[in-house]
């Protein structure tokens, strides 16, 4: 009689078991494998022995509990090291402890990182992170950061060199004073002069620490390498993905349709002579409805038409936050096809724009305004210098035809707007900026102070008016707005400033609401006095930092109750958000999708961070260009001014170039100097010689390091106007106040205080 006893299934081969473990989603245990192959009790015992042997042979790995996973399959949560950015702009990583990952017979799996959350710092090669993995295919994963495990202690950016056949890395960071040794096996075929990133290996008991090169970026000294250092050390995203580039290349002319036709209005762009993109244009006329007032139009490139929310272009623009400007290049927020193409208001070509049409009274106050999408055609690309020369009576062939119809009217409206600025008592700080002049070979030919022309102020006042009108419009429409906010100075900074000014015989009233007019009064009193520069610097340092936020607290420096950035969406993502909000709130068509209100908080924090990152990168690059320009002038004397006083020395700014450097306390060996923190000065115990903030001095250049941007000086004379005095490095001739010379112990202590950590 037949029985219903089930047939015994054949036992799977070793390869079939391994394939099942390999293709399983996540980890599996013996029970899951047995169920999949329909194994009986006897076969399960055999399976247990095989799995144990697989583990011993390294074919699979034991996980939590009794589960296993393929040796080529990574655990769900693991530590990764970021290794590189690929051609598409995606970050790649490998398991932190991957053995011999550079050998061809044991390649690491491909791990691509998900983008970081808004507001989180970008990851970069060398970072170690704890990540959650999800498998996408054989040997391929996506990873999401759980937390960052640190970067600064694990890697170093520097210049590689060979010293007696021994590889070394000189860090670009001023704070890292020692070099790193590189074994030839860990040099990644780097050549002397290459800019590299290296993983710092375990600490040695004696001598220099070891490092292993993980990335190469180019040779130091080649064109643009100095800017590249700033780009890399500040984590600036600078390579667009192919998808973002394709989206930009696919852009086409915007149709007129419902746009206002502005092509017959003589709008002009006014920018610096070296500007590559032109995203704002201006025009003015006497207000036909109010002869004492003015009608002005500020037209801005319609970036929101081309960069739509959630597109690849949008995501990468948000990650960058803003364009970054170096003396020899720009790291743009948008690809060139847009930034120098459809979103650049080049002359005699139709361009879509978002325009602010404003009416102001004779005192520059905005009476009414409206925003609309338009189609414009710039009638001229002018420079600040051209416009100023035309205003001063020296027009050229480009500005002469525009004098009566454009330039004179622009200045008329500007004078009205400047009266409004004076009436509201905006802060009047004038801090000079450096301008690096490059020759055709990409070398620094000069360093100059940027001119501050009335034409610059004209454009500034037009832009401020448009920004105010945009904020008012969004507020009235109850639309979310990314305000540009500037809080009033904190009381601790006001207290410090007040004490400093009292030492100069100036009173700063406290115990009341601080207003910009109070600072302006101090600046006016000190004008044309030896202390004017010092007072300007101290007032600047007392100010809060401006930032982006959906919560409006006003703009202290500009003395405005509401203010946003509307005028540069081609280079600031915050402006693009404002454009989208205007398009949405006014029903101006496509491209007006905006994040929900609560998302603006995170976005504001992120954009404020990217702005600070850009400022730091630009400043570091300028420091390096200055050091490069001066490195062949070691031993020369320069007139300078003290811009900071610290326990370890003086920071000075050279008059002509504006270059900054350190006078180490170690170099001031003629006396023992006490640091007076309250009065920002160093005072010699024996000589009574005083060095204080803002003081003019003559300094001698001792060292200029283009790699770090650091420069060291020594005091050559106390008065920068007197170049005939002998170097200020004399032996003690006067006794201290106690009647005793400073001891050898004191001088050694001072030498330690004046360390060279700021080289």
Residue 202 sits in a domain whose CATH number is: 2.40.50.700
pLDDT at site 283: 98
Q: What is the dihedral of CA 439, 443, 449, 451, to 10 degrees?
A: 30
pLDDT above 70 (res 750): no
| Distance between CA atoms of residues 729 and 733, nearest Å | 12
Q: Work out the pLDDT band at 747, boundaries 50, 70, 90.
A: low
Q: The tokens 């394939």 sit on which residue?
A: 19
Q: What is the dihedral of CA 249, 254, 255, 256, to 10 degrees?
A: -160
Per residue in 291-321, pLDDT tens? 899 999 999 999 999 999 989 999 999 999 9
52-56, 246-250, 491-495, 740-744: segment of lowest average pLDDT: 740-744
Mean of the pLDDT values across residues 727-744?
A: 40
Per residue in 57-72, pLDDT tens? 666 766 655 666 665 5
The verdict on 255 and 180 lying in the same domain is no
* pTM for this model (two decimals): 0.76
pLDDT above 50 (res 595): yes
pLDDT at site 101: 41
We report the CATH number of the domain holding residue 689 as 2.40.50.140
Choose from 246-260, 648-662, 685-699 the range with maximum mean pLDDT. 246-260
The verdict on 262 and 303 lying in the same domain is yes
| Distance between CA atoms of residues 230 and 226, nearest Å | 7
pLDDT at site 545: 92
The verdict on 355 and 442 lying in the same domain is yes
Mean of the pLDDT values across residues 480-503?
A: 89
Give the contacts of 489 (CB within 8 A, at least 6 positions apart).
497, 514, 542, 543, 544, 556
Domain end: 171, 186, 220, which one? 220
pLDDT above 60 (res 187): yes
Give the contacts of 577 (CB within 8 A, at least 6 positions apart).
482, 594, 595, 600, 603
pLDDT at site 566: 97
Range of the domain at 92: 77-150
- SS3 of residue 579 by DSSP: helix
If residue 52 lies in a helix (H) or strand (E), which one and from where to where?
A: helix 41-57
Choose from 270-279, 394-403, 433-442, 734-743 the range with maximum mean pLDDT. 394-403
CA-closest candidate to residue 126, choices 240, 191, 212: 212
Choose from 110-119, 274-283, 550-559, 672-681 the range with maximum mean pLDDT. 550-559
Residue 308 lies in a domain: yes
Q: What is the dihedral of CA 18, 19, 25, 27, to 10 degrees?
A: 0
Residue 6 lies in a domain: no
Domain end: 564, 586, 618, which one? 618
Residue 576 lies in a domain: yes
pLDDT at site 341: 93
Residue 45 lies in a domain: yes
pLDDT at site 624: 92
Q: Work out the pLDDT band at 342, boundaries 50, 70, 90.
A: very high
pLDDT above 90 (res 431): no
561 and 366 in contact (C-beta within 8 Å)? no
Residue 744 lies in a domain: yes
Average pLDDT of the residues of the chain: 85
| Distance between CA atoms of residues 532 and 538, nearest Å | 10
Q: What percent of the chain has pLDDT over 90?
A: 51
The verdict on 417 and 559 lying in the same domain is yes
Q: The tokens 């200045």 sit on which residue?
A: 411
Q: Work out the pLDDT band at 25, boundaries 50, 70, 90.
A: low
Instruction: At 91, give phi and psi (nearest 5°).
Output: -80, 135
- SS3 of residue 48 by DSSP: helix
- SS3 of residue 39 by DSSP: coil
Residue 7 lies in a domain: no
Residue 553 lies in a domain: yes
pLDDT above 60 (res 741): no
pLDDT above 60 (res 720): no
447-451, 522-526, 628-632: segment of lowest average pLDDT: 447-451
Separation in Å, CA 3 to CA 8, 39, 40: 14, 20, 18
Mean of the pLDDT values across residues 736-746?
A: 47
Count of structural domains, the chain: 6
| Distance between CA atoms of residues 412 and 409, nearest Å | 5
We report the CATH number of the domain holding residue 46 as 1.10.10.10
Give the DSSP per-residue string, 331-375.
E-SS-HHIIIIITS--BTSEEEEEEEEEEE-TT--EEEEEEEEEE
pLDDT above 50 (res 754): no
Give the contacts of 561 (CB within 8 A, at least 6 positions apart).
554
pLDDT at site 32: 82
Per residue in 393-421, pLDDT tens? 999 999 999 999 999 999 999 999 999 99
380 and 398 in contact (C-beta within 8 Å)? yes
Domain end: 70, 91, 114, which one? 70
The verdict on 140 and 248 lying in the same domain is no
Quote the tokens at residue 573: 């993502």
pLDDT above 60 (res 745): no
The verdict on 396 and 279 lying in the same domain is yes
The verdict on 511 and 555 lying in the same domain is no
153 and 176 in contact (C-beta within 8 Å)? no
The verdict on 81 and 201 lying in the same domain is no
The verdict on 368 and 438 lying in the same domain is yes
Q: What angle do CA 612, 345, 318 make, to 5 degrees?
A: 30
Instruction: At 83, give phi and psi (nearest 5°).
Output: -110, -40
pLDDT above 90 (res 583): yes
Higher-scoring residue by pLDDT: 192, 28: 192
487 and 544 in contact (C-beta within 8 Å)? yes
pLDDT above 70 (res 731): no
pLDDT above 50 (res 476): yes
Give the contacts of 135 (CB within 8 A, at least 6 positions apart).
25, 73, 141
């Amino acid at each position: 009689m037949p029985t219903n006893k089930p047939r015994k299934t054949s036992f799977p081969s070793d390869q079939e078991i391994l394939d099942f473990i390999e293709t399983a989603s996540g980890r599996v245990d013996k029970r899951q494998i047995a169920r999949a192959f329909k194994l009986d009790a006897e076969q399960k015992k055999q399976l247990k022995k095989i799995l144990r042997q697989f583990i011993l042979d390294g074919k699979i790995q034991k996980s939590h509990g009794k589960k296993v996973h393929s040796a080529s399959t990574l655990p769900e949560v693991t530590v990764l090291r970021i290794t590189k950015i690929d051609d598409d702009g995606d970050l790649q990583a490998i398991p932190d402890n991957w053995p011999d990952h550079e050998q061809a017979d044991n390649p690491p799996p491909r791990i691509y990182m998900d983008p970081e959350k808004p507001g989180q710092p970008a990851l970069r090669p060398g970072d170690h992170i704890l990540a959650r993995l999800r498998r996408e295919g054989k040997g391929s994963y996506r990873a999401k950061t759980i937390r960052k495990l640190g970067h600064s202690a694990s890697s170093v950016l520097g210049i590689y060199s060979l010293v007696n056949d021994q590889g070394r890395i000189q860090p670009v960071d001023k704070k890292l004073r020692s070099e790193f040794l590189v074994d030839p096996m860990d040099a990644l075929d780097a050549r002397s002069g290459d800019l590299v990133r290296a993983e710092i290996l375990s600490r040695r008991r004696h001598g220099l620490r070891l490092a292993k090169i993980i990335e190469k970026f180019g040779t130091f000294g080649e064109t643009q390498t100095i800017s590249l250092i700033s780009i890399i050390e500040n984590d600036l995203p600078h390579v667009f993905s192919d998808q973002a580039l394709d989206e930009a290349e696919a852009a086409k002319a915007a149709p007129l349709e419902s746009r206002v036709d502005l092509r017959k209005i003589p709008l002009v762009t006014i920018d610096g002579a070296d500007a590559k993109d032109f995203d704002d244009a201006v025009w003015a006329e006497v207000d036909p409805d109010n002869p004492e007032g003015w009608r002005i139009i500020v037209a801005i490139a319609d970036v929101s038409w081309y960069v739509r929310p959630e597109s690849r272009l949008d995501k990468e623009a948000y990650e960058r936050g803003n364009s970054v400007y170096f003396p020899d290049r720009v790291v743009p927020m948008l690809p060139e096809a847009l930034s120098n193409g459809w979103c650049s208001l080049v002359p005699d070509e139709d361009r879509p724009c978002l325009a602010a049409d404003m009416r102001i009274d004779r005192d520059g106050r905005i009476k009414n305004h409206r925003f609309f999408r338009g189609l414009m055609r710039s009638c001229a690309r002018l420079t600040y210098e051209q416009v100023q020369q035309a205003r001063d009576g020296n027009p050229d062939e480009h500005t002469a035809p525009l004098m009566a119809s454009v330039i004179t009217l622009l200045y008329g409206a500007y004078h009205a707007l400047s009266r409004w600025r004076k009436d509201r008592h905006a802060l009047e700080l004038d801090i000079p900026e450096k301008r690096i002049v490059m020759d055709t070979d990409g070398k620094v030919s000069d360093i100059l102070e940027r001119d501050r022309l009335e034409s610059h102020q004209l454009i500034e006042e037009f832009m401020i008016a448009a920004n105010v009108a945009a904020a008012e419009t969004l507020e009235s429409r109850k639309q979310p707005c990314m305000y540009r906010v500037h809080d009033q100075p904190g009381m601790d900074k006001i207290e410090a400033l007040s004490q400093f000014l009292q030492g100069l015989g100036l009173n700063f009233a406290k115990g009341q609401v601080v207003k910009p007019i109070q600072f302006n009064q101090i600046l006016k009193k000190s004008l044309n006095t030896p202390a004017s520069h010092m007072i300007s610097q101290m007032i600047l340092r007392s100010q809060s930092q401006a930032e982006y936020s959906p919560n409006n607290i006003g703009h202290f420096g500009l003395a405005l109750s509401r203010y946003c950035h509307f005028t540069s969406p081609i280079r600031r993502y915050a402006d693009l958000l404002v454009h989208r909000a205007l398009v949405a709130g006014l029903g101006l068509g496509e491209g007006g999708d905006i994040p929900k209100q609560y998302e603006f908080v995170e976005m504001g924090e992120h954009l404020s961070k990217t702005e600070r990152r850009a400022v730091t990168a630009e400043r570091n690059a300028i420091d390096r260009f200055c050091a490069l320009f001066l490195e062949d002038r070691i031993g020369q004397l320069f007139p300078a001014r003290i811009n900071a006083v610290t326990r370890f020395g003086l920071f000075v700014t050279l008059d002509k170039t504006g270059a900054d450097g350190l006078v180490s306390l170690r170099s001031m060996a003629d006396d023992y100097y006490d640091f007076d923190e309250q009065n920002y000065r160093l005072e010699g115990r024996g000589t009574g010689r005083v060095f204080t903030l803002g003081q003019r001095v003559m300094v001698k250049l001792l060292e200029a390091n283009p790699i770090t941007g650091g420069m060291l000086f020594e005091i050559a004379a106390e008065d920068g106007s007197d170049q005939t005095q002998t170097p200020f490095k004399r032996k003690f001739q006067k006794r201290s106040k106690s009647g005793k010379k400073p001891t050898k112990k004191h001088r050694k202590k001072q030498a330690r205080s004046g360390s060279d950590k700021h080289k």
